[in-house]
Chain A
Amino acid sequence: MSRKENRSISAALAAATCTLLGSGVPAPVDAQEEPLWDFNTSLLYYGEDDDRVKDYSVSAIARRMFVDDRYLTLGLTVDGLTGATPSGAIRQDVPQTFTRPSGNAAYTVPAGVLPLDDTFKDTRVALSAGWQQPVGETSLINVGASASKEYDYTHFGVNAKFARDFNQRNTTLSAGFAYSFDSLDPVGGAPTPLTPMLDVGDTSNRTGNPDKDVLDIIFGVTQVISRNLVVQANYSYSMSDGYLTDPYKVLSLVDASGDTLPQTLTPGPSHQYLFESRPDERTKHSIYGQAKYFMNGKVLDASYRYMTDDWEIDSHTVDLHYRIPFGADSYFEPHLRFYTQSEAEFYQLSIPDSQPLPSFASADYRLGDFDAITAGLKYGWRTRNDNEMSVRVEAYRQTGSVPAGQIIGNQAGRDNYPDLNAIIVQVGYRF
């Protein structure tokens, strides 16, 4: 049969079928073979203001389906980090010079400026792999491994989770664990805690490659409450062991009037700074609750987390997402997050020279007393080829304070706590 005659069969057949079925012709067909692969990709920009940290990141998660509801998931993330982060030293009314963590050079911070350490240029690659499969009629098991590498840090981890359904799948109980073996290779070597920042070229107080292990255990229950409402509650336990100090962070050694003690070494640090010291163990407990509530097409996602640990840090997190459909193929999702934490037991703004050295001390703002708020908006839509795309823009702001008892003399007039303002922009594409 010629090509021309082949073509006319469809039309003639469609017409004949129409006549046969009369008005009962069903809907236009929409069928395709199930794709075995599923991809979720994203581009991320994270930027803090005032020359601080900026991160560009590309992520991809690929999932392949196998017979009988089994899945293989592979993930890859590449981050490019630049910018500077507060070193822990406090502002002064005079310029300050610091030795770089590498020990090979020095940098100067003008008077009145918050000292920032810009050794933060780094590229990080993270990989993950996971396998999921059903176990019998009501259970599911997940096992996985992860690894990441950056210039001064290597991570390996394994994880597993088991979940079982009850009550006609209305209740799910789950238990899981994750174990990480991380090792650090700080630029210049890890400094002995609470020893002074030394001159350029002097790495006598540096030691080799420390490491750290982390064990996380999680128990959870998910419960369907009604046709529109599902809730989840988790309890997590985390135990970190090993080198938990930040090798690049220091504290200023101050006199009775709160000013940093100068020293006479040149070049090298202009003042006296001590490397920080954290305990070599940390135990955290957290409880987490989440609810997803559907009302008239909109979905409210609300969660709360309480965390407490043996560094005496307590935190509360409230996270709210509200998805609002917009037309048939897109949605808006405003996002609000509130966070507050209390300072670690060994957090202090500076170390007074007059007192004996504490066992542990850190001026890292991330262990301090602060509140944070995130406000953002996400817009998502179904693309012409039936894939999903989304864009979100968020603003993150941290404002903290130093406990009044830690402020000494001249420090009172200064802005001591490094507030944080950051923007997050993320574009996602799923296909």
Chain B
Amino acid sequence: MRRTIGLAAATLLFCAGCSSMGVEPWERDILAKDEMQLTTDEIEAATDDHIYFSKEASSGGRGFGGGGCGCN
């Protein structure tokens, strides 16, 4: 457990330290496209979260845990 938290904290710190990485504002053309958003379809993502929450023992990751139903 402690090792997991340590790994997670290290990952986040590493990423936050990437302050020199990135693009200039006028280079965001591709990133602005709909298909490059982290969640392209809210309903599809919510549907999958709900199905896998009901049929598996894990949930969430991308966002909040799903759940709120009597399926597990």
Contact = CB atoms under 8 A, between A and B. Distances in A.
Whether the complex brings A and B within 8 Å at their CB atoms is answered yes
B70 A286 contact: no
Contacts of A146: 68
Interface string B12-27: 1001101101111101
Given A285-B1, A294-B30, A216 B65 contact: yes
Main secondary structure of the interface of B (DSSP, over half): loop
A221 B12 contact: yes
- DSSP class of A's interface residues: helix, strand, loop or mixed? strand
A170 B57 contact: no
Interface in A289-303: 289-290, 292, 294, 299, 301, 303
A170 B22 contact: yes
Given A218-B63, A238-B60, A226 B23 contact: yes
Given A169-B25, A292-B38, A366-B72, A287 B11 contact: yes
Contacts of B61: 234, 236, 286, 288, 303, 305, 307, 317
A344 B23 CA distance: 45
Interface size class, chain B: 35 or more
A167 B61 CA distance: 25
A392 interface: yes
Interface in A307-324: 307-311, 313, 315, 317, 323
A406 interface: no
Given A42-B47, A339-B56, A153 B38 contact: no
Interface stretch (A10-18, A96-104, A176-184, A349-357): A176-184
B12 to A, nearest CB: 5
Contacts of A40: 41-43
Interface string A26-45: 00000000000000111010
A62 B15 CA distance: 34
Nearest to A159: B64
A44 to B, nearest CB: 6
A148 interface: yes
B67 A180 contact: yes
Contact of A224 (B9, B31, B33, B47): B31
A232 interface: yes
B7 A224 contact: no
Contact of A168 (B22, B29, B55): B22
B37 to A, nearest CB: 8
Contacts of B47: 42, 44, 57, 59, 424, 426
B72 A246 contact: yes
Contacts of A232: 38
A233 B68 contact: no
A106 interface: no
A334 interface: no
B60 A285 contact: no
B66 to A, nearest CB: 10
Contacts of A290: 38, 62
B62 A303 contact: yes
Interface residues of A, number: 93
Contact of A223 (B15, B57, B65): B15
A198 B27 CA distance: 68
Nearest to A217: B64
A428 B8 CA distance: 35
A392 B23 CA distance: 34
Which of B22, B24, B63, B64 neighbours the largest number of chain A CB atoms within 10 Å of its CB? B64
Interface in B41-59: 41-44, 46-47, 51-52, 55-59
Interface of B: 1, 4-5, 7-9, 11-12, 15-16, 18-19, 21-25, 27-31, 33, 35-38, 40-44, 46-47, 51-52, 55-65, 67-70, 72
Interface of A: 40-42, 44, 46, 57, 59, 61, 77, 122, 124, 126, 146, 148, 150, 152-153, 155, 157, 159, 166-171, 173, 176, 178, 180, 182, 184, 214, 216, 218-219, 221-228, 230-236, 238, 246, 284-290, 292, 294, 299, 301, 303, 305-311, 313, 315, 317, 323, 331, 339, 341, 344, 366-367, 372, 378, 390, 392, 396, 398, 420, 422, 424, 426, 428
The 6 nearest A-B residue pairs measured at CB = A170-B22, A153-B70, A288-B61, A155-B68, A305-B61, A235-B8
21 contacts: A40-B42, A59-B47, A61-B42, A167-B22, A184-B70, A218-B64, A223-B18, A224-B21, A227-B23, A227-B28, A227-B29, A230-B36, A235-B9, A238-B59, A285-B8, A294-B36, A323-B35, A344-B57, A378-B44, A420-B55, A428-B41
